[in-house]
Structure 1
Amino acid sequence: MAFFEHHGIEENEYFQVLKLYHSHFPLHFHRAYEIILVKQGEMLLTVDQQEFSVGEKEAAFIFPNQMHAITASPGADIEIVIFSPELIGHFFMNYKGMIPKNNLFSFPEVSGLAAVHSVYGQKAFLYHCCDKLVKETKFTEVKYSPKTKVIHQMLLFVDAHFQEECSLKAAAAELQYDYVYLSKLFLQMTNRTFTEYLNHYRISQACYQLKNTQKTVGEIAEASGYNNLRSFHRNFKRMMHCAPGDYRS
């Protein structure tokens, strides 16, 4: 899939360029680095509970395991580059255990990024971004709180179980935490309920499949965790302001 936690695990040198096709990208994290380029329009970026307004010709550099979410303006042109730490091994080793104080940096001048197939071209672009980030911000040691670690576990639970019966009660049982505690913690850390997050996660999965597969809407609904097609259509229209078929076309 486009954006979930397994990124950067499968391959030693992993590099993928994606278009942001929908306005909201749910909270997530992964082992891979991520660079978000705003070519046109603007977006609201949340990183580890900090909010950044990112305008045209600006970019963001997300480090491994940083929780982040995107809300893009209508018509925004946004590209996302996801890549494994091994592609920038020197930078990764020098800044291992560190995160930027400010994830934003000036937009690198690039064109035809999706057509960069050579590993040398990929590394040239990535190290250019590393250079800009190092010049424009300072770094701090990673210190994830116990609460953040619990949220990481909950997000991993959703990623593993969103295609089936997925509930906060089941998460509490698997993670061995009190249901009420998890409910309050999730709302506090993400500003939405577990159910709201799950629905956004499922609809984001559906959006990706509508744009990148030939599956029917019914097949996509089922693959996204909806047993009831009517519920899928209702949630999709509420979040995307259009029907799945219209979104695909």
Structure 2
Amino acid sequence: MVFFQSHGVEEKEFFHYMPLTEYQFPLHFHRAYELIFVKKGKLLVTVNQIEYTLNTNQLIFIFSNHIHEIKRLGDSEVTIILFSPELIGDFFTEYKGWSPNNPVLTLEQQPQLEKLDSIYKQKSFLYQICGELIDQTEFKKVESSNKTRLLHRILLFVDENYHHNCTLKDVAKHLRYDYPYLSKLFVQMTNMTFTDYLNNYRISQACYLLKNSGLSVGEIASQCGYNQLRTFHRNFRDIIGKSPRQYRDNH
């Protein structure tokens, strides 16, 4: 998604938050740290192939470049907080290359993010979260396997090419790997086929555009890689459970 993949690459201090409803997003990763807070309802978050169910007033801390997926469990209201590792430089330096055994925190009260109107207040809030995480759990060293690094490269290819013709054969040619090997590895690492993942990714991008742009449904379908509007409508309904127009009207 446009507000995900580019965040944190520039190595500048930033802090962004977004309240969202009926939110989900397929596997992705980024350099920025991410906090996902459930204001209402439930959410299923998978981080490095481990599933976590979040309830109301719970938050999950996702570390830099960890592959994660977000699935809604019924109606929910969530807030996504993205911030650069440099914003909590001391924590980033000490825990770079490590991962929390339990990244889920239960907050006593909902954070008032609109009041964090200075970098000092933002850092204070984030370091408090870091402190609670350190008090709650132990950390383990992250061993990045060749398969994980290869999956990173596949996901990056999709992010850069989903709006064009984008097939696993294109990925195999670009990365210079055998197609059968990539197909097997992708299913093993994600529990879905590449085609299913691509459609989920495209539809998630379409949801963002439906909520945040004035583009027509046809223009959005085209921008998200669909040459046939009928195919876009079918995939959108299969994944989201309603038509693109109904989704836009609800948001």
* TM-score interval, smaller chain: over 0.9
Q: 1:210 to 1:108 in 2, by over 3 A?
A: farther
Q: Which runs of 4+ in 1 moved over 6 A?
A: none
Once the two structures are superposed, residues 119-173 of structure 1 have per-residue CA deviations (whole angstroms, 9 ceiling, x without a partner) of 1221121111111111111111110111111111100010010010100000001
Shift of 1:3: 4.6
Matches within 5 A, 1:81-230: 81-107=81-107, 109-114=109-114, 116-230=116-230
Partner of 1:7: 7
Q: Does 1:246 align with 2:230?
A: no
Is the contact made by 1:183 and 1:193 (CA closer than 8 Å) also made in structure 2?
A: yes
> 2:19 maps to what in 1?
19
Whole-Å Cα distance in 2 between the matches of residues 226 and 114 of structure 1?
38
CA 1:143/1:11 → structure 2, altered by over 3 Å: closer, same or farther? closer
Q: Check conservation: 2:42, 2:75, Cα contact below 8 A.
A: no
For structure 1, which segment, 237-246 or 104-113, has the greater mean C-alpha deviation from structure 2 after superposition? 104-113
Deviation at 1:239, TM superposition (A): 0.8
Distance 2:11 2:153 in 1: 23
Asked if 1:72 is matched to 2:72, the reply is yes
RMSD: 1.5
Q: 8 Å contact 2:21–2:76 — kept in the other structure?
A: no
Name the CA distance, whole Å, in 2 between partners of 1:21 and 1:57: 15
Change (3 A) 1:159 1:108: farther
TM-score for both structures, normalised by structure 2: 0.94
Measured in 1, the distance between the counterparts of 2:59 and 2:226 equals 35
Q: Partner residue of 1:52?
A: 52
Q: Structure 2 stretches of 5 or more lacking a match?
A: none
Measure how far apart 1:54 and its partner are. Answer: 1.4
Q: What's the secondary structure of 1:65's corresponding residue?
A: coil
| 1:87 match: secondary structure | helix
Per the normalisation by structure 1, the TM-score is: 0.95
Letter in 2 for 1:159: D
Q: Is the 8 A contact 1:25 1:69 kept in 2?
A: yes
Listed as ranges, the gaps of 5+ residues in structure 1 are none
How far the C-alpha of 1:46 sits from its partner, in A, is 0.6
Moved more, 100-109 or 44-53: 100-109
Specify the SS of the correspondent of 1:74.
Answer: strand
Shift of 1:11: 5.6
Question: In structure 1, what residue type is equivalent to 2:192?
Answer: R
Identity of aligned residues (%): 50
Query: Does the Cα contact within 8 Å between 1:2 and 1:18 map onto a contact in 2?
Result: no
Note if contact 1:59-1:107 (Cα within 8 Å) is conserved in structure 2: yes
Match of 2:74, SS state, is: coil
